[in-house]
Amino acid sequence: MNNFLSKRPLTMHQLYGDHVVFTSRPSFEKNPWLTTEEHQANMLTARELLIADMPVIIHEAAVGEKPRELMRAAGVDFPSHYRTFKDAESYNARLREAEKNGEKIFFQYAHSSEFVDPSTYYIDKELFVALNNKMKLSDWTKGKFLPKREVVAVDELEETLKKWNYPYVIKPGDEHPTAGGYGVMICYNDEDRKQALNRIKEAETDSDFVIEDYINTKQNYCVQYAYSENTGLNYIGASIQNTNEYGKYFGNITAHNVPQTVIEAGREIMQNGVDAGYKGIAGFDLLVDDKGEVYAIDLNFRQNGSTSMLIMDELLAGDYEKFFGAYAKVSNDAFYERILDEVKAGRLFPLAYYDGDFYEDEHVPSRFVGIWHGEQQDVDAHDKAFAEFNQ
């Protein structure tokens, strides 16, 4: 069963080297812009396990017998390079242990210095925060590929918005991480603006905000790259992102015919980050409008939701791949058995399973992320059938 993983064209270990630990979990500290539910955040700690080949900090509910059985059904050995936690205290303990051992940590999301010393960051913390700060987008694009935008202080935001025509986008410009479209506020009308301003008021922040023109989008790509001194700068691939009208992320499919203008725009942005000192994987949300112009709306200098899918693209059967995530609306047992059947059928590849039955004193729905693969008509049919089953 090891044969599958041996064929991976790239692993995080190849990029980050020895004595580096990875954590994809947001800090347990309060973040007004990243509202990921606790169990969802715990489950996602295992999402990159199969492409890591390096120590990964993972929640205990994602490493039990059920996740292992799913991997066996897919013909993959469950990796052994992980360190577990079960709550905020044990999670923070894993960070401190890595620091004490002299290891570096590649954080998916920045953590405050009360949890780990900034010197423990694999990427210089100030650089990492700056690279992922939406207010500094123009720094990393060198002023290119940008919609009309304006940076304003929070106490001037309401008055400034009155000068903008709908639709437009509001983004926080502070150092708190965002993901999945959370924290991005698209306004089509006065009611949307009112809700956005109320949310900003509730955040009790004194940071600046970014206002951007809304792009009439023909295609929404996440283009991804990897860089290390040993491998150089390489294009990993791209996915087409599925979002609703308010920018919330609902998954993606592998893109096989990406315009060269999009690939080169992303490569240029990646090179700018590398020149500043970045090493690792990055994914950029690049839009193509109805006139064929390319716009950069978000830069993620870290692993992305579709990174695993892109790296394993050539290893999965079929020409069509679709990222899949769900939580149990039926019983946990029925949810698991249905997923197991789909994996055994060879059309659903598991990335992470979070066993809700790990919690004996409360009901927690189980969660899963994986990759549908095969022919598009078949994949879409089974994806729809699963949604109908899981109601």
Q: Report the distance separating Cα 307 and Cα 286, nearest Å.
A: 16
Task: Determine which one of 25, 94, 193, 302 is catalytic.
Answer: 302
Q: Sign of the CA dihedral 38, 44, 49, 50? A: positive
Q: Which residues pair with 208 in a beta bridge?
A: 153
Supply the angle between the helices 190-203 and 154-161 in degrees, to the nearest 10.
180
Among 337, 311, 343, residue whose Cα is nearest residue 324: 343
By CB atoms closer than 10 A (0-12, 13-18, 19+), residue 38 is middle
- Phi and psi at residue 160, to the nearest 5°: -65, -40
Annotated catalytic residue 302: yes
Residue 39, helix vs strand vs coil = helix
Residue 369, helix vs strand vs coil = strand
Helix (H) / strand (E) element for 368: namely strand 367-374
Q: Which residues pair with 211 in a beta bridge?
A: 150, 170
Among 160, 272, 163, residue whose Cα is nearest residue 208: 160
Active site residues: 302
